[in-house]
């Protein structure tokens, strides 16, 4: 299992305490509980700012989850690559025929305890729909989708319900859509509509 800030015990304990204090100072309230399983796909939404990753990392430390995220393999070269991996990054080769979804499924199956964060918008920019990659990754790996959130409007963050993919993407997405509809990103004008899902 790769060593990261989320599974290095002494460092994790120190950073967890710092995260709890900092979130409270900044006025954030932390809600929710983790599911029983320690392996799942975590939606990180709404995603409108680089600050989202910073806040979600603190939330992950508070909940003591082994958080990972997938990034372009070019981010993992040289000395910077060590830092990127230590922050939970796992390289993905976008040129491979198997695709990002298949590579993500493989990694999820290989690591015993893993929470894979996937922003469903696929971008910090405003998009007209969410991509369905997070759903196919969870379904292919046989793990639930857990609804993590950053609601800047109310300054609430945390862990929402877990949804086990049934294969009926549109029905499952409706439950996800209802949960996220009231949420507000850091930049509300960039918050993507949850009214539609792109089948990719």
Residue-range domain boundaries for the chain: 9-198
27 Rama class: left (phi>0) / alpha (psi -120 to 50) / beta = left
Query: pLDDT 10s per residue in the chain (200 long)?
Result: 678 899 888 898 999 999 999 999 999 999 999 998 889 999 878 878 888 889 999 999 999 999 998 888 888 888 888 888 999 998 887 776 568 888 899 989 988 889 999 877 655 455 556 778 899 999 999 999 999 999 999 999 999 999 999 989 888 988 888 898 888 888 877 666 554 555 45
Identify the pLDDT of residue 199. Answer: 46
The pLDDT of residue 163 is: 94
pLDDT for residue 112: 83
Strands 67-72 and 29-31: unpaired
DSSP character string of 113-125:
S-EEEE-TTSSSS
Q: Which two tokens stand for residue 126?
A: 């405003």
pLDDT at res. 61? 94
pLDDT of residue 143: 96
Query: Cα–Cα distances in Å, from 80 out to 77, 87, 89, 109?
Result: 6, 11, 11, 26
Helices (H), the chain: 9-25, 51-63, 78-86, 99-110, 133-141, 169-180
pLDDT of amino acid 22: 97
């Amino acid at each position: 299992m790769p060593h990261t800030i989320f599974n290095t015990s002494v460092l994790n304990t120190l950073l967890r305490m710092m995260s709890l204090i900092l979130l409270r100072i900044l006025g954030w309230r932390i809600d929710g509980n983790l599911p029983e399983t320690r392996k799942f796909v975590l939606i990180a939404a709404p995603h409108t700012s680089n600050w989202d990753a910073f806040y979600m990392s603190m939330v992950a430390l508070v909940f003591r989850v082994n958080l990972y995220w997938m990034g372009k393999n070019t981010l993992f070269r040289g000395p910077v690559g060590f830092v990127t991996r230590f922050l939970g990054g796992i390289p993905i080769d976008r040129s491979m025929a198997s695709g990002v979804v298949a590579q993500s499924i493989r990694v999820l199956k290989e690591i015993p305890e893993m929470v894979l964060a996937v922003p469903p918008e696929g971008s910090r920019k405003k998009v007209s729909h969410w991509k369905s990659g997070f759903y196919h990754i969870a379904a292919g790996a046989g793990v639930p989708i857990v609804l993590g959130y950053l609601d800047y409007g109310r300054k609430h963050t945390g862990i929402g319900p877990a949804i086990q993919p049934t294969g009926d993407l549109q029905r499952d997405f409706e439950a996800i859509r209802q949960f996220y509809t009231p949420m507000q990103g850091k930049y509300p004008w960039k918050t993507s509509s949850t009214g539609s899902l792109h089948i990719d």
